[in-house]
Amino acid sequence: MILRLSQKLAKKLKTGSLSPLPPDENPYADWSANLFTADRTQYILFTNTKSLYSVVMYGKGITDNSLFIRRALENLREFMEDDGQASVYQRLIAPATGSLRFGKALNRSVTGSMNDMIFHAKYWLIEGELSPCDVSFKLNEIPMSALKGPESECYGIPRDAFQLLADDGEATHEFSEPQQAPSAAPPTRAKASRPASNVSSIPVSERLYQFKITLLDYRPPIWRRIQVKDCTLDKFHERIQTAMGWTNSHLHQFEVGGAVYGDPELIDQDFDECFYYDSTITRLSEIIPKDGKRFRFKYEYDFGDGWEHEIWFEGCLRAEKGARYPVCLEGERACPPEDVGGVWGYPEFLAALADPHDERHDEYLEWAGPFDPEAFDAEKATKRMRRGLPDWRKYL
């Protein structure tokens, strides 16, 4: 059995340096574990690497390898009994516990998914005052983009994916590393602005950066065109959130030319190990081509729903004297509601909302209220951008 530990947990257990290990041939014998804190209490998220099926357990008092192994397997066995899967544990997991190896996290897809689950777990443990067992049941029902099969348009549920492993002895889902955003024709410039080709001709203090943000894999397109001054990628994340209409309720990351940027205080599991760069100290001016040429990069929000955005850098221009920034110049269509299920769940939500006879109509109407998918107001988006969002760190 392989137990993949986050850096924090490995340090707590004093395991020493860990090596990367290939996936175990038995998917039930490959587990990942991350240490996190909620309301000054330590917890461990113990997750099946292949299916993301997870158990939350207390971390207090676990200071060595043997105690961690015993507690983790005890919690897993007890939870699976409560979940009606005692026979799966006895047949497919227990026999593998005779030989144990520690290793590093498998890849960014697994780590990112676990980080998002940890965010949900913290909320339910603190605000919902739920027990670790109750939180585990809720985590295993979250739709996860990392579990979307190559031939499927639906996100996978950890509990369902875990049960599928038993059908043929191997997982039917594969994790994939983040892919390059699909190419697209250069976006049309806004008439209100003409980005300059020579960036160096504009003083840094007067320089504006213009971007077009488009939600990927959804038609008709949902997009915004914005202008911002130089700032960190962390602040640019806030500009994207407010321009689009998101609520900053989930984790995020940028992918620029193969490099991944995130906030180390939020993506706190294996930050260095999974090759993240710090978005809180990296500025737009550091990633923008010095010659001012257009280029695209990717922004992903909510690793569960998996909202991916293509960010087109359209160029630089000189800020108007006396004008206020940031500004949203234009855009089309409303931002989808949070937690609606990604680009696959959103059309189902709209269809149910438009059909009074749909069995989910009243539920969605009560949840989201009246919703117009075509509505967008650039002035309101600009006001949101200037107002900003609360810092969610204070809730963790």
Q: Highest mean pLDDT range out of 144-153, 171-180, 262-271, 360-369?
A: 360-369
Tens of pLDDT along 9-60? 998 999 888 888 999 989 999 999 999 999 889 999 999 999 999 999 999 8
Q: Over the stretch 62-93, which tens digit does the pLDDT of each residue have?
A: 988 899 999 999 999 999 998 888 888 999 99
- Give the pLDDT confidence score for residue 173 in this predicted structure: 35
Amino acid sitting at position 336: P
Q: How many CA atoms lie within 13 A of 183 on its CB side?
A: 2
Q: Taking the model in full, what pTM does it have? A: 0.57
Distance CA 311, CA 31 (A): 35
pLDDT digits (tens, 9 = 90+) for 293-329: 888 999 999 988 899 999 999 999 999 888 899 999 9
- The stretches of the chain forming alpha helices (DSSP H) are 7-13, 65-82, 86-88, 108-126, 132-139, 158-168, 233-244, 284-287, 342-354, 361-368, 378-387
CA-wise closest residue to 297 among 155, 181, 137, 153: 181
DSSP category for residue 59: -
The number of residues making up the chain comes to 396
Backbone angles phi, psi at 242, to 5 degrees: -75, -35
Residues with Cβ within 8 Å of residue 301, at least 6 apart in sequence: 240, 241, 246, 250, 251, 252, 307, 309
Average pLDDT (117-136) is 89
Q: Is the peptide bond before 220 cis (omega within 30 degrees of 0)?
A: yes
Round the average pLDDT of the chain to a whole number and report it. Answer: 85
**Residue 33: in which H helix or E strand, if any?**
strand 30-38
Contacting residues for 59 by C-beta, under 8 A, at least 6 apart: 12, 35, 42, 43, 44
Domains contained in the chain, CATH given: 2-168 (3.30.420), 199-333+379-395 (3.10.290.30), 343-375 (no CATH)
